[in-house]
Structure 1
């Protein structure tokens, strides 16, 4: 475990910059004192599924995580629920803000570990968030391979995160259909994801996640010509925040919604 620690920000990021994940996924441990890197030296250069030599170099140590959790008086990994995130929940900063906004007296120690998942891809929920951006949503995509982040939540933490996802249903995926390999070297039998309750935005097939809201808004304008989506992304997010059903109505009228294939 790296000794570098950073503080978790308390102010939300701009909605037009969603999903706020930065250039690459990372393994980290959220603690009351800040965020500690979990990736070993060289992990950024080696994929989760690698040759034996690279795997030894890239593994995140499970024993180190459990030792850190025990030092915080937090629940061990064996007593937590594994959830694979596809959007901003991949970042400790987002989860820290959700815990803080809940107002609950939580044990916030939470591990985040890189993972590779097969048969799953990431697109956009067919509904906007409360802040007006179009959030990420997973969907079945045979043959796809994604590098994402898996998070272990205790029961109280999971209840808080569930409440922050009103447009989603947490569903359990069987690894026989959607194989998962963690950067710890483990391959769990199942894991949870937050699946869109509204379907995913699709144009013949699901539209893959765009890493800038401006790209997604411009793409939908090109398809639909909808005035509500025209302009700078910050302005569009502000419009959609006060018209929460506008995006869902628009994509349904234009036949731009597909089932995610996860249930």
Structure 2
């Protein structure tokens, strides 16, 4: 029996269809509204919402897949082909937007997905009052007012851009004659705590433009439920009874679909002096903000030596390497390093003590001074250590044992790196000092099976990164398939899964290494470790020269047979050598450089 359908949970009645049921039935716990179900959503302590676990529906989130056990919320949304949590907007609900049936009715009526995380939060400073507005849907809705120091449980919906647009339109925020404005509440005035312990750094709220109805003493009136509210309002106003009838049923029937009558009723609230200030208008600032959850950092205090994780800009040029972007102040505090190790401090110390990812450091002048408690981390590095934007990350300086010379950069171009997840070596390569990589990874590195690559591991106490040169062998489909069948579980498993242990999917490319090589790279005991891999450019140069030397010899023999002068022969040899060097340079750059080249004028 499917006990998570809206019907089974008693959540199937939408106030838009049954006005006197307003604000509708709210859930008793956090959940993911998906199709006609509200799936349980379980918090993970000290983690962002993307890592919370959601129960799967009977058929799974993908067609033909059976649902077995809870999965991270972001993974569920990805499988359902929905917007991930980080690109959604957290909106506090004080009325029917916390009713799953109402949300489903709004979205599906306009052809938009109704898959929405609905999360219970402890919110301080928000009371549920009565809007000074008679809705053509046949009810008088709830509206928030400021209650400093008073806390209550409310639901926050995480809406994607299309869903937010629909709710914005239903609240009339872009209509000059509309009723509401959407504001981003500051955490210092409105503490908002999730069950995971996260204090939201802000959330959106719809604030009525004309205030709320007072209780007769000047204080905002609380919304007691639609039937009781309408009964009280009708008993207090003879004019309201003349227009809307004597009972809640008559009120709802006459108001439903009659916009002119509803406008008269709305004006009557003002004419009878029923309005009072909600105390929230001071937070309305021009155009409504559109800051997504990933860019709203938690208000929790950071652990010592940690920073908030930010996202690197989409248009930023990483120049072939995973980077961490720091402000000048943060870089100086770390000693202005060229490289750094980033580590996820959200994971308990026993599990993450040495799990980290090596990054190239970029000092970013565009990071303002007020954001010195934030660092920007590339997506591949965040996947490597299971970080979500906004979570706490530690950054410490690291250095390579040998710095690349400038002539190498000029001759070969920038180095292209890949961050890969280390897998324990398969028996096919046991006790062999090689690494196994799949075909795509080899091609991205610009190498073929049997070429030499350079692996950069995890630094020791001295900050020096261990580096190994190894042959890279293309792994077989059999090895890949066997490991995919075996891997799963958290850090205590033999072959842990990044999805189960870190909540990340899809994972980084895999590199298979024999356990002896783990020690050489400083990875002892570090399950789900990452390494940076690049091609060995000196090996590639030798490889190209070997191929070209034969052609050079043939060409020189031809020159000797034609030219009798030793001087001309020497000059010709010099030209041939330069030509070979040029060809080798072009071939290496085209094969090893994975950077895009713009064709045509730049956009302004």
Asked if structure 2 preserves the Cα contact closer than 8 Å seen for 1:240 and 1:247, the reply is: no
Q: How does 1:29-108 map to 2 (within 5 A)?
A: 29-32=32-35, 34-38=37-41, 62=52, 64-102=72-110, 104=111, 106-108=112-114
1:238 to 233, 253, 273: 253
Q: How does 1:167-186 map to 2 (within 5 A)?
A: 167-186=179-198
| Structure 2 counterpart of 1:151 | 157
The worse-fitting range, judged by mean Cα deviation, of 91-100 and 68-77 is 68-77
Task: Say whether 1:131 aligns with 2:137.
Answer: yes
2:119 to 113, 118, 132: 113
Higher relative contact order (CA 8 A, sep 6+): 1
TM-score, with structure 2 as normaliser: 0.37
| Structure 2 counterpart of 1:205 | 219
The worse-fitting range, judged by mean Cα deviation, of 174-183 and 26-35 is 26-35
Alpha-carbon separation, structure 2, partners of 1:170 and 1:126: 17
Check 1:33–1:133 CA distance in 2 against 1; reply closer, same or farther (3 A cut): closer
Q: How far has the Cα of 1:67 moved from its partner? A: 2.3
Check 1:184–1:73 CA distance in 2 against 1; reply closer, same or farther (3 A cut): farther
Task: Say whether 1:218 aligns with 2:231.
Answer: yes
Asked if structure 2 preserves the Cα contact closer than 8 Å seen for 1:240 and 1:246, the reply is: no
| Structure 1 counterpart of 2:30 | 27
Check 1:210–1:189 CA distance in 2 against 1; reply closer, same or farther (3 A cut): same
Q: Say which SS state the counterpart of residue 35 (structure 1) adopts.
A: strand
| Structure 1 counterpart of 2:272 | 254
Alpha-carbon separation, structure 2, partners of 1:184 and 1:239: 45
Q: Say which SS state the counterpart of residue 125 (structure 1) adopts.
A: strand
The worse-fitting range, judged by mean Cα deviation, of 177-186 and 31-40 is 31-40
Alpha-carbon separation, structure 1, partners of 2:113 and 2:253: 34
Alpha-carbon separation, structure 2, partners of 1:159 and 1:255: 33
Asked if structure 1 preserves the Cα contact closer than 8 Å seen for 2:13 and 2:24, the reply is: no
The CA RMSD over aligned residues, in Å, is 2.5
Alpha-carbon separation, structure 1, partners of 2:280 and 2:190: 10
Q: How far has the Cα of 1:234 moved from its partner? A: 1.8
Check 1:230–1:184 CA distance in 2 against 1; reply closer, same or farther (3 A cut): farther
Alpha-carbon separation, structure 2, partners of 1:186 and 1:258: 33
Q: Say which SS state the counterpart of residue 94 (structure 1) adopts.
A: helix
Q: How far has the Cα of 1:87 moved from its partner? A: 0.5
Q: How far has the Cα of 1:62 moved from its partner? A: 2.0
The worse-fitting range, judged by mean Cα deviation, of 110-119 and 167-176 is 167-176
Task: Say whether 1:14 aligns with 2:18.
Answer: yes
Q: How far has the Cα of 1:185 moved from its partner? A: 2.2
Q: How far has the Cα of 1:4 moved from its partner? A: 4.2
Asked if structure 1 preserves the Cα contact closer than 8 Å seen for 2:88 and 2:160, the reply is: yes
Asked if structure 2 preserves the Cα contact closer than 8 Å seen for 1:25 and 1:148, the reply is: no
Asked if structure 2 preserves the Cα contact closer than 8 Å seen for 1:21 and 1:87, the reply is: no
Asked if structure 2 preserves the Cα contact closer than 8 Å seen for 1:30 and 1:109, the reply is: yes
Q: How far has the Cα of 1:97 moved from its partner? A: 0.7
Q: Say which SS state the counterpart of residue 177 (structure 1) adopts.
A: coil
Q: How far has the Cα of 1:10 moved from its partner? A: 8.3
Q: How far has the Cα of 1:229 moved from its partner? A: 4.9
Check 1:238–1:215 CA distance in 2 against 1; reply closer, same or farther (3 A cut): same
Residue-by-residue CA offset, 1:214-235 (whole Å, 9 max, x unaligned): 2112222343333235522121
| Structure 2 counterpart of 1:5 | 4
Asked if structure 2 preserves the Cα contact closer than 8 Å seen for 1:114 and 1:149, the reply is: yes
Q: How far has the Cα of 1:70 moved from its partner? A: 1.9
The worse-fitting range, judged by mean Cα deviation, of 13-22 and 252-261 is 13-22
The worse-fitting range, judged by mean Cα deviation, of 81-90 and 247-256 is 247-256
Alpha-carbon separation, structure 1, partners of 2:81 and 2:17: 30
Alpha-carbon separation, structure 2, partners of 1:149 and 1:134: 20
TM-score, with structure 1 as normaliser: 0.82
Alpha-carbon separation, structure 1, partners of 2:250 and 2:201: 44
Q: Say which SS state the counterpart of residue 151 (structure 1) adopts.
A: strand
Alpha-carbon separation, structure 1, partners of 2:142 and 2:148: 18
Instruction: Report how many aligned residue pairs link the two structures.
Output: 241
Asked if structure 1 preserves the Cα contact closer than 8 Å seen for 2:181 and 2:209, the reply is: yes
Q: Say which SS state the counterpart of residue 193 (structure 2) adopts.
A: strand
Alpha-carbon separation, structure 1, partners of 2:13 and 2:234: 33
